[in-house]
Amino acid sequence: MTDKINVGLVGYGFASKTFHVPLLMAEDGMTLQAISSSDAAKVTADWPQVEIEASAAALFARDDIDLVVIPTPNDTHYDLASAALAAGKHVVIDKPFTVTLDEAESLVEQASRAGKLLSVFHNRRWDADFLTVRDLLERGDLGRVAHFESHFDRYRPEVKTRWRESAAPGGGIWYDLGPHLIDQALVLFGMPEEISLDQACQRDGAQVDDYFHAVLRYGQRRVILHAGSLMAAPAPRFSVHGTHGSYVKHGLDPQEDMLKCGERRPTPEWGEDHQHGLHTVPNVNDAGARPELREVPTRAGNYPAYYAGIREAIRGQGNNPVSAEESLAVMQVLEAGRRSAQHGGFEQLTAR
């Protein structure tokens, strides 16, 4: 294989159109060679230079494809990834990895036997606000973290006719937004000891959960992961409280909206989030004094870093940016949360 990595993409739905194609097109050393789609006209209207295959099987059979990207409905991930690995391809799967932990473990074993890269697109590791939070914690600016709260709140009162909001396996907001928030929590704190999950269908006509509130226990630390669909006035994106003060940040990372609007890397302001957070620093020497408020500039987000990492990992010049083993841990928490919601208590977790 030459240094150029030829990519095949399965399907051309929202995730492909919004995230994967623009990021792949902008990445040096990667060429989007072909897309499998039943609607060739839709693909050609946006990307006339890309070849079209009528089926995923035809895409996998091509000798000129090195990497297959799978941003398809959640319940198709396992079969498509398994077939791509069997065809000798490296594989990237959009989150969640699969709909069951057993399926995910099977894919990890298959990729290991084949000697192929297997990764999950946890792009929100490169959110502007998350990169900033990670820096704060790594520097110890907040001291020992006692309470961490991560919200992904939206106002979407109408239930749409789409697979994400249907009763199919892997549908619902826990399997849609949960993987993002879980992965970020695991990056920061590792595997929790226990999880308690509350889920609900709050919108009229909802078929699957459109609300969740998860509590992750790490000793005396509490990590709260929350998402809802009727949040016209959303809570802070991050609220972090530690022995050296608190950090609060409002607003979502701008990269998804940039991609939806057709903005592409490189641009001078790519990924810049102009909503900065506040670090509240208590005055420990004077109990009566007001705490100091320090604005914390938000780092620029960097979704392109994911595919840059994939390129380097395939070339043998870097590590997989989101390893399959890390993604297995996310699946463990997803499933433990689901069991917790069923029996109404905390579910224990252990590192595998």
119, 93 in Cβ contact below 8 A?
A: yes
Q: Write out pLDDT tens, residues 159-170.
A: 998 888 888 899
Q: Among 122, 128, 231, 132, which Cα is nearest to 183's?
A: 122
Structural domains for the chain: 5-121 (3.40.50.720), 124-302+332-348 (3.30.360.10)
Task: Name the β-bridge partners of 121.
Answer: 94
* Distance separating alpha carbons of residues 1 and 74, to the nearest angstrom: 30
Residue 151, Ramachandran bin (φ over 0: left; ψ between -120 and 50: alpha; else beta): beta
Helices (H), the chain: 14-15, 21-26, 40-46, 56-60, 77-86, 101-114, 128-139, 173-176, 178-189, 255-260, 304-314, 324-343
pLDDT for the residue numbered 268: 79
Residue 269 identity (one-letter amino acid): E
Q: Write out pLDDT tens, residues 282-296.
A: 987 776 778 999 999
* Distance separating alpha carbons of residues 117 and 320, to the nearest angstrom: 8
* Distance separating alpha carbons of residues 151 and 9, to the nearest angstrom: 31
Please state whether the predicted TM-score (pTM) of the whole model is above 0.75. Answer: yes
The interaxial angle of helices 178-189 and 128-139, nearest 10 deg, is 20
Q: Which residues contact 9 (CB under 8 A, 6 or more apart)?
A: 16, 20, 21, 24, 32, 34, 35, 36, 68, 69, 71
pLDDT for the residue numbered 21: 97
Q: Write out pLDDT tens, residues 50-70.
A: 999 999 999 999 999 999 999
Q: How many CA atoms lie within 13 A of 73 on its CB side?
A: 13
Low-confidence ranges of the chain (pLDDT < 70): 1-2, 266, 287, 351-352
pLDDT for the residue numbered 285: 72
